[in-house]
Structure 1
């Protein structure tokens, strides 16, 4: 802990599953003058409750011990994450700290609309208390301004580390999916698309947390073992190697914020087949560095995978554009400089 820091960043454990954890890990390696405190980690409900209790004790200790602390930067999702972080916000405001509420999911407005009127009031109250609300895309900003018209909103993209682009030479085409294995991420649509892919040189690889055994049985029941491979969550060097050796990235989600998995694929020069939801259109430009299809349209998903697989020139051209866009808009150095400017503005 940096006892003289003016900024405390709060979010999930950087080694946990998910995009927010990946963002936290990148920020940890980029700021020398920011404290980091984990509010949750992987585990069952009892472990999560106990960990949050332990977090609150550490949080209070830091607040009372570190007199120079002025900004609390809170990364938040929906559901239980929001209710945990609302406690963090209320404590910070009681002690006259400035709060940055960093909302990651695109479906936050749905979370609000589907809540009980009393919960809606609580959500709006927390947004109103926040000195700055960071969101991942202009579309999400428009949605949230309907909830909190007087909120101080600013778009800050998720960051990614830029590295040297490697040339791909494989003849067999690997289409890759990384994310939670569930309906919302379009996994059933990927399986339906695989049924229609005719080229023998294409194989679709699925990696993620969730009930992968259920989807494995579904793949087997449809006799797709030769076309698809599925496994659990991967991270670190193994994930890097798998992305580097893939040719196409697919993410046919129904809702998204700004997926780290897409940014990771772009940095590795992959063309993207995704849906125009959340912040994705601000990373994937249709027919420039990939294709945007409507959620649920597995026929179009199959067509675009096949088109990219059978056109090396198009695949390489779109992959290069992915890399260029990632370098220009999402490079960690670009995002960190923007965030430093935000901190300086709040500090006055």
Structure 2
């Protein structure tokens, strides 16, 4: 990487150290690839929304100070999502673009941006149109989002940039293969992620899944409801909740599992799916957001409609009964994930920065 180019870019987004989110994982990958990574944390996941909102004026003051002192900064790269994230980033955009005259990149990560736009007020819609029209480069994550943005906004420069992922050092299983299939869910414990749909499928098929199936859930969110559902439906023999996972624990789970499952209702381009693909795993997910760009039905996994419990049940049953085919799907995942490897993504990002600097 040409570190001198990245030293001319101020990256703005959620705190990526000890992150608990997809954007944080992306930023951590970027930071790990370059020597100088000027960064401003607009939100810190260690704190609640109230504290972050109270601290946000200090973020703006720090932005002004950084752009005043570091005259080498030519580009401000804003990583944003929906709702509160958009409101914060809009103010940052105004300061960077109009007070300091910097080139601005807006990088959209949200899987719910369409819902946010369609259900927000006319005033906020106007602000969304303003930022999409005036930024120097708008980055999205997949052809799905590119098509949506082109059809709704006048964007002068719109590009797709893949989310980055690293290959594991080894593809060895951490445990001996046993008689049942291990499915892994990594993500927030929320209704919109489809995790409770998945639990309902398991509860309705307890007897047929017994001694053949295990679901490991890693994440945080509505953990009280999750634990209550597992207990009320006597699923402890089928479902294991391990809390939020990262680092070596996540690597071990990705190595151990047979299939990554994400039955979500809205997504951008899930890092968890890319990580599983880099570990040669088959994927069972939904036809939303950028997922169909990386998971091809009947090739490296299966895609179902969100909320379709019957088809989800059928796909789980097929996976359990066809282990050799599932292993082939995993190998296909490894092939399909190659364009998302960090080095390739960083080269594309560097080329975009170079274009803007020229």
* TM value normalised by structure 2: 0.92
Q: Which runs of no fewer than 5 residues in structure 1 stay unpaired?
A: none
What's the CA shift for 1:250? 0.5
Contact 1:165–1:269 under 8 Å retained in 2? no
Q: 1:95-132 CA distances to partner (integer Å, 9 max, x unpaired)?
A: 11000000001321221111111111111111112111
Does residue 342 of structure 1 match 2:352?
yes
Distance 2:222 2:243 in 1: 8
Alignment of 1:53-92 (within 5 A): 53-92=57-96
Aligned to 1:96: 101
Aligned to 2:301: 290
Which of residues 183, 188, 212 is equivalent to 2:191?
183
Moved more, 253-262 or 12-21: 12-21
Q: 1:163-218 CA distances to partner (integer Å, 9 max, x unpaired)?
A: 34524441232101011111111011111221226132211111112011211111
What's the CA shift for 1:16? 2.6
Contact 1:175–1:305 under 8 Å retained in 2? no
Moved more, 38-47 or 60-69: 38-47
Aligned to 1:163: 168
Contact 1:41–1:51 under 8 Å retained in 2? no
What's the CA shift for 1:220? 1.4
For 1:258, what is the secondary structure of its paired residue?
A: coil
Alignment of 1:1-348 (within 5 A): 5-14=7-16, 15-42=18-45, 43-94=47-98, 95-168=100-173, 169-171=176-178, 172-195=180-203, 196=205, 198-199=208-209, 200-327=211-338, 329-348=339-358
Distance 2:155 2:294 in 1: 28
Distance 2:35 2:357 in 1: 17
Contact 1:248–1:305 under 8 Å retained in 2? no
For 1:192, what is the secondary structure of its paired residue?
A: helix
For 1:146, what is the secondary structure of its paired residue?
A: helix
- Paired positions, count: 346
Contact 1:249–1:271 under 8 Å retained in 2? yes
Distance 1:286 1:109 in 2: 24
Contact 1:178–1:207 under 8 Å retained in 2? yes
For 2:351, what is the secondary structure of its paired residue?
A: helix
> C-alpha root-mean-square deviation of aligned residues, in Å?
1.7
For 1:26, what is the secondary structure of its paired residue?
A: helix
Contact 1:212–1:231 under 8 Å retained in 2? no
Distance 2:194 2:50 in 1: 30
Distance 1:302 1:224 in 2: 16
Distance 2:170 2:325 in 1: 17
